[in-house]
Structure 1
Amino acid sequence: MTQTTPAHHEGATAPPATGHATRRDPRFDAVVRAAVGQGLLGEGGQVAGFIDTEGVRASVGALHDAFSAAPEVLHTFAAKACSLIPVLRLLADRGMGCEVASPGELRLALEAGFAASRVVLDSPAKTREEIRLALALGVSVNADSLDELRRIDALRHPGTASVVGVRINPQVGGGSIGAMSTATDTSKFGVALRDPGAREAIVRAFRDRPWLTRLHAHVGSQGCPLELMAAGVARTYELAEEINATLGVRQVTSLDIGGGLPVNFADETVRPTYPDYVAALTAAVPGLLSGRYALITEFGRSLLAKNGFIGARVEYVKDAGGRRIAVTHAGAQTATRTVFMPDAWPLRIGAYGADGTPRTGPVLPQDIAGPCCFAGDVVAYGRELPELAEEDVVILYDTGAYYFSTPWAYNSLPRPAVYGFRAGKGGAVTFATVRDAQSMESIAAESGLAHVDALMERDG
């Protein structure tokens, strides 16, 4: 790590109603001040993502501790939640495996140092080439459909080290966010377990393939209560027992129970916790942690969200129709879910001065808008914050997953820089570059610069 600075520890068509207060998270006060002092935020760094590396380590430790009663469990990190190689490398170093859902994510996982045997490939649209590569590497594969199993039949060679499973949709219902619920009757994921004939077809699939040894299910994530998630695991466990009893042999030896623990975006408290989830699982499936089946989990957001934030410079402040608007550099390009689904993904906002110290004084309702060129690019409406001014800094909390790591290229806005941080002796904050800010040269190259004349008419 480099760059050390001494510091002290301390969419919608109609906006929601004003007056929603935001409580600043004091954990990051010293980090914001240090980032401004070093030029990571400000005139030279209009927007950036920050990751608390010690917080990530603590979250991984809490996950492992919660499942310590299970004799055999592989905790994989859902790469889509934070697809940054240095972050993945940190997680691999802490004993995590990796769940991937595309060729790109598989490449990132391998580059980060995950052993192929600790990587799980999930995707509803795997190509033959993806399957072929995974089987050649020894990566575990969860088939999303019976048709995909038939592809695997043709591509699998007897010597592969890959564990192969089938994803089922336990059809236990959805949570409060439909887009994040993957166990509804009509979900696109998995084999729909309660559809006519589906259960029998799954049993036959295992009977015909002695090398098929795993069941996989994932009910959803944000907006899904623990009881719903546990019910999906219970149906998966029951199916495994039925398959083994029908075949008269313990063919199913592992259960991939997915991940998706919800995150509390209302304040800095972590809830639900991993022990809360284990308690719900144990209540629904008393034998789950007994060792009867090896377990695989696929957590993402719950490990990273509260261990990261976005910092952005306030470029202008204006009034329109009696509303105060702070125009910042953090909008839909880096907080896409919040802009398009503000009720489902509300973010807490912190207000800091141009010197990186917390803003104080009387509060007033303010909209926090982004730089994208469409009217709905607003990350927070009517938040009661100390009055913001040009060159101040706003913080978007709980954005360590699915935000700055996977930006949207709208308006050809550059990908923001990302920095890891930790506090050292004497309160010093140390930063390390995780990803450089995207250059204008890179934007031009990605936009086809090498083929600039490809569409021009040529004589003759």
Structure 2
Amino acid sequence: MIRKQQIIQKAIAANVIDSDLTAIGIMDFDGLQKTVAAAYDAFPTNFFHTFAVKANALVEVLKVLREYGMGAEVASPGELLIAKNAGFSNKDIIFDSPAKTLNDLRTCIKNDISLNIDNLQELARVDKLMLEFPNTKSVIGFRINPQIGGGAISSTSTATATSKFGYPLADGSNRQELINIYQQRPWLTSLHTHSGSQGCALELMAKGILVITELAEEINNNTGTQQIARLDIGGGLPVNFASEEVTPSFADYAQILKQTVPVLFTDKYQVKTEFGRAIAAKNGVIITRVEYTKNSGGRHIATTHAGAQIMTRTAFLPTSWPIRVTGYSAVGLEKTAEEFEIVATDVAGPCCFAGDLICADQQLPKLVPNDYVMAHDTGGYYFSNHFDYNSLPRVGVFSVSGNDENLNFNCIRKADSLDDVANNM
């Protein structure tokens, strides 16, 4: 019996999911530990891995990621507060928001939190703050847009010619201007890019990292010193949502990076990553109860309690973010084609619009009321990115750890009111 089968059966038997708490998310902490270990095993010791907090901003999840050796990459003041509540030290946090306020910048520089500058107007603010805090230990760099093109999902491609992120390196005389900026500011000691995301090929990601590495070498040669000591190469490792197989792996990515940018695999630079989805996605599932079923226009419709309010990307962009689903009986036994009729099925959520579907027109074993549906690979960008706060009291998140014979569940978030929601963020 596979681990997920054990998890859902014991969750049902222990009343972790019941008539009131009709949708739950489960993070496998043992799986998280193995994934973090795989990331560190794939790269040499000059690499330090941070977790993109936006991918799963639950304090209890972040606590264990910190214990497993990760830092935190944050993109908003709220994420910074969450990272601090999870126990991350300032030196292990990096702030990447493209819309930092003056107060955001002051907070980082005053408290030795690293940051990446997005544009020349932000640079002017940082120039003034460096006069105010000349002894800061913040590692400060520029976020570079290498303008190498996008991947299969345009909305998450960050290195297109017109991307909103970073300093557009290929425009006009920007490259030389940036070199001059670094020569005039010895406190600029890092370069950053995030050239890939879901839907981007590893070769494309590596190409963007090669661009900033060559720029770093040019700046260091011009200054005659190792002014740039850190390269922040972002995250964006794609996740396979089509099956249980972990592909590409961190080892796959490391191999392509080593072939494309071999200097990263020496001790010349400290290299930081910002993996999020690749760390969390396959270590989380959402389980929801089927409340009602019906047939409409030849389609079997199973209405559940997990839809767009939790699986927002899947509901609004189903072709870009499809999710595998598996049906289980009321006691947690997987429903298979050998035992149940296969029918064209829509698995629907509780929201009042037609597109609130986990999946549409999929051939699934026939679901009935009080069955369960598991949405796989939802540990990243699902548990903590809800948009419908009215639904939150009905959604709980639990961790699971231990071997298959002795699984232990721990409540991470179970909101009974909007006040509790706020207190648990």
Residue 54 and residue 375 in structure 1: after superposition, are their counterparts in 2 closer, same or farther (change >3 A)?
same
Structure 1 segments (4+ residues) deviating >3 Å: 410-415, 440-445
Match of 1:233 in 2: 209
User: Aligned Cα RMSD in Å?
Assistant: 1.7
Match of 2:101 in 1: 127
Match of 1:183 in 2: 159
TM-superposed CA distance for 1:31, in Å, is 0.5
Match of 1:428 in 2: 406
TM-superposed CA distance for 1:409, in Å, is 1.4
Match of 2:32 in 1: 56
TM-superposed CA distance for 1:358, in Å, is 1.6
TM-superposed CA distance for 1:379, in Å, is 1.1
Matched position secondary structure for 2:310: coil
Q: TM-score, normalised by structure 1?
A: 0.88
Count of residues in Structure 1 that have an aligned counterpart in Structure 2: 419
What code does the residue aligned with 1:242 have? E
The answer to whether the Cα contact below 8 Å between 2:393 and 2:416 also exists between their aligned partners in 1 is yes
Match of 1:335 in 2: 311
Residue number among 347, 350, 361 corresponding to 1:371 in the alignment: 350
Matched position secondary structure for 1:408: coil
Unmatched segments (≥5 aa) in structure 2: none
Written as runs of structure 1 = structure 2, the 5 A alignment for 1:288-303 is: 288-303=264-279
Match of 1:284 in 2: 260
- Aligned partners of 1:113, 1:415: CA distance in 2, in Å? 28
Match of 2:67 in 1: 93
The answer to whether the Cα contact below 8 Å between 2:20 and 2:394 also exists between their aligned partners in 1 is no
Match of 1:384 in 2: 363
Residue number among 258, 270, 273 corresponding to 2:234 in the alignment: 258
Q: Which moved more, 1:270-279 or 1:357-366?
A: 357-366
Residue 441 and residue 285 in structure 1: after superposition, are their counterparts in 2 closer, same or farther (change >3 A)?
closer
**Residue deviations 1:116-148 (CA, integer Å, cap 9, x gap):** 001000010000000101111111011111211
TM-superposed CA distance for 1:159, in Å, is 1.3
- Aligned partners of 2:389, 2:358: CA distance in 1, in Å? 15
Q: TM-score, normalised by structure 2?
A: 0.96
**Residue deviations 1:188-222 (CA, integer Å, cap 9, x gap):** 00000100011011111111111100000001210
- Aligned partners of 2:421, 2:224: CA distance in 1, in Å? 59
Residue number among 296, 300, 312 corresponding to 1:324 in the alignment: 300
**Residue deviations 1:37-91 (CA, integer Å, cap 9, x gap):** 1222231320010001100000000000001x3x422210000000000110001
What code does the residue aligned with 1:159 have? N
The answer to whether the Cα contact below 8 Å between 1:219 and 1:228 also exists between their aligned partners in 2 is yes
Residue number among 142, 145, 158 corresponding to 2:116 in the alignment: 142
Residue 442 and residue 111 in structure 1: after superposition, are their counterparts in 2 closer, same or farther (change >3 A)?
closer
Identity of aligned residues (%): 48
Matched position secondary structure for 1:368: strand
Matched position secondary structure for 1:317: strand
- Aligned partners of 2:52, 2:416: CA distance in 1, in Å? 24
The answer to whether the Cα contact below 8 Å between 2:60 and 2:86 also exists between their aligned partners in 1 is yes
- Aligned partners of 2:352, 2:293: CA distance in 1, in Å? 16
The answer to whether the Cα contact below 8 Å between 1:372 and 1:410 also exists between their aligned partners in 2 is no
What code does the residue aligned with 1:116 have? N
TM-superposed CA distance for 1:413, in Å, is 4.9
- Aligned partners of 2:393, 2:331: CA distance in 1, in Å? 24
The answer to whether the Cα contact below 8 Å between 1:120 and 1:140 also exists between their aligned partners in 2 is yes
TM-superposed CA distance for 1:346, in Å, is 0.6
Match of 1:7 in 2: none
Residue 65 and residue 442 in structure 1: after superposition, are their counterparts in 2 closer, same or farther (change >3 A)?
closer
